[in-house]
Amino acid sequence: MIAARKLGRDYGTKRVIRDLDLDVPRGGFLLLTGPNGSGKTTLLRLIAGLLVPTAGELDVATTRDRVGFLGHEPLVYRELTALENLDLYGRLYRIPERRERIGMLLERFGLWDARNQRVDSFSRGMTQRLALCRTMLHGPELLVLDEPFNALDEDGAALLDRELAELRPQATFVVATHDPARLAPLASDRLAFA
C-alpha cells in the first residue's frame, strides 16, 4: 500500500526526514512514535499527499478520495455547523446517500444533538470528534491519523478505540501517537523516530 525508498523532506535548509525506507502492506497498521519535531507529522503529510518529497520516492497505492487524514487541525470551518461542515465534505467526496452517512456518524460520535451548532461553540473534544467524523465520512481505505486521541475525554477515547478496532480489518492505518501502548494491540508495525 505504501512504499518509500530513500525518502527525504527538507524545509529550507532543515532536513526533517532523511533516507527513509518504508513498506506498509495493504491492511497493515503502522504506529509512529517519537519526540516532538522528529518528523512524524511530516511523514503523515507526505503519505496523505499534502507534501511533496524533496528526495527519494514515495508510492501510495490509492487515490486521494480513499485517504482519510486527521492532522493537528480539525479541518472544519468554525463558522459553519457540524452538519454543514460534513455536508460540504460529503459533496466534495461525492458520497452516495450522504445525509444518511452523516447522520449515522454524528450519532455514533455523540454529536447528533449538536449537529446544528456552529463549531466555534464546540469544546475541543467535540471538535476532535467532528474531525474524526470528517476523516471517516467517505469510508477511506487508508487512514492517516496524527494523535487521534488528542483532546478526547475517556468516553471519546473509548469510542475511538472501538471505531479503530472495527475498521482495522477493512483499512490500512498509519498512526502517530505519544501513547503507543493504547494502540499496540492493533499495530502490525512500529517505526520509532529519534
Q: State in angstroms the smallest separation of the CB of 76 from another protein.
A: 8
Tell me whether residue 135 or residue 177 sits nearer to another protein (CB atom): 135
Sole residue written with cell 482519510: 68
**Which three-class secondary structure string do you get for the chain?**
CEEEEEEEEEECCEEEEEEEEEEECCCCEEEEECCCCCCHHHHHHHHHCCCCCCEEEEEECCCHHHEEEECCCCCCCCCCEHHHHHHHHHHHCCCCCHHHHHHHHHHHCCCHHHCCCEHHHCCHHHHHHHHHHHHHCCCCCEEEEECCCCCCCHHHHHHHHHHHHHHCCCCEEEEECCCHHHHCCCCCEEEECC
Q: State in angstroms the smallest separation of the CB of 73 from another protein.
A: 4
Tell me whether residue 79 or residue 166 sits nearer to another protein (CB atom): 79
Q: State in angstroms the smallest separation of the CB of 50 from another protein.
A: 6
Tell me whether residue 111 or residue 142 sits nearer to another protein (CB atom): 142
Q: What is the largest CA-CA distance in the chain?
A: 48
| Interface ranges with another protein (CB under 8 A) | 48-52, 63-65, 67, 69, 71-73, 75-80, 84, 88-89, 91-94, 118, 134
Q: State in angstroms the smallest separation of the CB of 180 from another protein.
A: 25
Tell me whether residue 80 or residue 187 sits nearer to another protein (CB atom): 80
- Angle at 37 (CA atoms; ends 123, 2), nearest 5 degrees: 90
Tell me whether residue 62 or residue 188 sits nearer to another protein (CB atom): 62
Tell me whether residue 63 or residue 123 sits nearer to another protein (CB atom): 63
